[in-house]
């Protein structure tokens, strides 16, 4: 999953589509998402999706973060149906 949307989420539909193409995810597997955000890793503001003029000392800064992740429905389904552990 690679998207230009800074708030994109890996959805249950993405997981099920992947399984159709690649086979069922084995129980106990680790699921890793390629969001395409890796090249931004060296730039904290860009990697965490902050506006370029953000003041990092502001305690409300977390309210402005935008980055890809896993949709809660997908995580719950994977935990329940593929016995994945998220610790």
- pLDDT of 83: 85
Q: What is the reported pTM?
A: 0.71
- pLDDT of 17: 96
- Could you say which residues of the chain have pLDDT below 50? none
Are 51 and 66 in contact, with CB atoms under 8 Å apart? no
Instruction: Provide the pairing of β-strand 69-70 with 9-10.
Output: parallel
Helix/strand/coil percentages in the chain, nearest 5: 40, 5, 55
- pLDDT of 43: 82
């Amino acid at each position: 999953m690679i998207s230009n949307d800074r708030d994109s989420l890996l959805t249950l539909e993405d997981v099920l589509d992947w399984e159709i193409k690649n086979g069922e995810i084995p129980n106990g597997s680790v699921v890793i998402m390629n969001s395409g955000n890796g090249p931004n890793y060296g730039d904290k503001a860009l990697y965490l999706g902050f506006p370029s003029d953000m003041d990092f000392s502001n305690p409300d800064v977390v309210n402005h973060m935008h980055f890809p992740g896993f949709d809660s429905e997908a995580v719950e389904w994977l935990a329940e149906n593929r016995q994945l552990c998220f610790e």
